[in-house]
Amino acid sequence: MVECSDWRTPYIAGLVDNHAGIVITVAKRSDSRIGFGIQTQCRIKLSAKKSLDLLTSFCEAHEIAYRVDSDRETTYDSYQLIVSRRDSLQTFLQLVVPYLVVRDDAVDLLCETIIPRLNDGDHREKQSFLSLMEDIETFRERVGRANRAKYDLEFFQNEWGDIS
What's the CA gap between 73 and 12, in Å, rounded?
Answer: 26
Instruction: Render each residue's pLDDT in the chain as its tens digit; 164 residues.
Output: 455 567 899 999 999 999 899 999 999 998 988 999 999 999 999 988 999 999 999 999 999 999 999 876 666 778 999 999 999 999 999 999 999 999 999 999 999 999 999 999 999 999 999 999 999 999 999 988 555 678 888 888 888 877 76
In the prediction, which pLDDT does 5 show?
Answer: 64
Q: Tell me which residue of 75, 68, 8 sits closest to 43, measured CA to CA.
A: 68
In the prediction, which pLDDT does 1 show?
Answer: 46
What's the CA gap between 9 and 63, in Å, rounded?
Answer: 15
Torsion angle (degrees, nearest 10) of CA 138, 141, 146, 150: 60
**Burial 120-151, CB ≥16 within 10 A → b, else e:** eebbeebeebbebbebbbbbbebbeeebebeb
Answer for the pair 137, 153: CB distance below 8 angstroms, yes or no: yes
Q: What is the DSSP string of 48-71?
A: -HHHHHHHHHHHHHTT---EEEEE
| Range 8-144: architecture per CATH | Roll (3.10)
pTM of structure: 0.88
